[in-house]
Amino acid sequence: MCGILAFFDKNGHYKGTPEELKTHLTSLSHRMVTRGPDGCGYFGGKNWGLSHERLSIMDPEGGKQPIIYDELRTGGSPMASVVNGEIYNHHDLIKKHGKEGLPPMTGSDSEVINYLYPILGKELVKELNGIFGLVLTTNDGKEILVARDHCGIKPLYIGHGHNGEMWFTSELKCIVDQDCASFEEFPAGHYWTPETGFVKYYNPEWDHDDYVPTEGVENFKAVLEKAIEDQCMSDVPFGLLLSGGLDSAVVAVVLKGILEKRGKEFHTFSVGEDDSPDITAARLMSKHLGTTHHEHRFNADEAFENIEKIIYHLETYEPELIRSAIPNFFLAKMTSQHVKMVLTGEGSDELFGGYLYFRDAPDNKAFHKELRRIFHHLHNVNCQRADRMTMAHSLEARVPFLCPNVIDAVMKIDAGEKFIHDGRPAEKHILRAAYEGTMPDSVLWRTKAMQCEGIGMTWVAELQSRCNKMVTDEEFENRATTYPFNTPHTKEEMYYRGLFEKHFKGMDKFVHVWEGGCRAGGAPWKNAAYTREGLKDVK
């Protein structure tokens, strides 16, 4: 994973020298150095530039960015790209479209962007299986292609200058104080060129309003296991974030066999308070698989002491997301001391209906519609949390459940197969059934718990109590005047909002706030267990 920053001034308003532009852009890019502490690269011209902060996972020695193709290689204008992410099918794409006698220059998966652009043009993004934000340019900055992966696993933002300048960046902190008329999040599953504007390229069949999923459960397991193996692509040591829940346990079972074949040590990482449900289940799973297990013992004191730092990296004030990100922050910090890349179980709940409120879904149609709704919020919740908390500590996170092939396979399964009823004692029954016998039953059939509850039962209440003391009654009474947009409902929310405004003033349009203040609040059916202040009843 890396951090990218690109600037294009098509109207020539920038009056500095190319060297001054380089100095300016690399200094802005360096604000996200934790995304790539292994090196900084730059390529540009008079009125444009690409800057890159590198975390070296593939071809550590030869895969430096920007990746540049000169005139001899392109047969035309020089070409350069910066990529944040991983392209898992890069070998397959080069075999499929490659030109005889023109092999890639490096072992970097990112080079496939340069390699395919002369052959496929902007249509290349439709064939990528990966997680990415990318910017490619040729013809001295005049021809531009920008794209973000299918469901926004990697972040990307745009700034629009007053005179037509364009900024593209992995994190808001790089451009928050630049002279921009407006900012926006780059939409997931889209590409952009100056000629076309935004074009939606990820448009799966299952996401159409008239689509009714009817397929069986036979195929998804093989697709998932291939995705896990594909995402083990790495030239550096890696491991697994083992939460103690079903999803990471499934990944662990598959990953065990892959690492054994490679003769590699299996490292797992967990976070929680002493004897919390997550820590206990993760230990059991680690013992079952024989992993080298690492734990961070979590407490409310360190949570409160690091709230501002966490919000700075997370770039949000949304309370449900902040609470779930806090333990991830400390987990990533500990994990980064051992490996540079990890797999996670993120995304499974949005495919199988893993949240407890799905028990109240009235019918198949409502169930599938709700899956679609929360899937399209992933870029602002689970994906944002996974990316920002790991990247805060220079750690790369991969999410095999969100491979487009896995998404397609699971979202086409008849929603009736995902329902919870008397014959299926827990949510995600089809996933559990597929891996029965591969792990202890106490892990396989463990009831879903939100992460901020699973790592300990009291820390959230303690954190909220401390936040409440930081906001006076008078400040809270005037909250609508202070924050007319997304007005806080609790003192906890107001405290987070103040810390966000300290670093990202005027950027609140980027913060997704769930309808009703929580994930379940926007569902077409009611559920009393999910509230603005957390999950109140897990029974």
Residues annotated as catalytic (active site), given as ranges:
2
Q: Distance between CA atoms of 489 and 493, rounded to whole angstroms?
A: 7
Single-letter amino acid code for the residue at 135? V
Q: Report which secondary-structure segment, H or E, holds 182.
A: strand 180-185
> What is the identity of the amino acid at 5?
L
CA-based R_g, the chain, Å? 23
Three-class SS state of 68: strand
CA separation, residue 266 to residues 256, 263, 289, 458 (Å): 7, 9, 9, 32
CA-based nearest residue to 243, from 539, 426, 534, 455? 455
What does the CA dihedral 179, 159, 11, 113 come to, rounded to 10 degrees? 140
The residue among 388, 385, 358, 382 whose CA lies nearest residue 370 is: 358
How far apart (Å, rounded) are the C-alpha atoms in residues 126 and 404? Answer: 11
Amino acid at 134: L
Give the whole-angstrom CA distance, residue 485 versus residue 155. 23
Does residue 137 contact residue 8 with C-beta atoms inside 8 Å? yes
CA distance 539 to 524: 21
Closest CA to 1 of 399, 477, 496: 399
User: CA-CA distance, 272 to 275, in Å (whole number)?
Assistant: 8
- Cα→Cα distances 285→112, 246, 271, 415, Å: 38, 10, 14, 29
Q: How far apart are CA 248 and CA 208, in angstroms?
A: 30
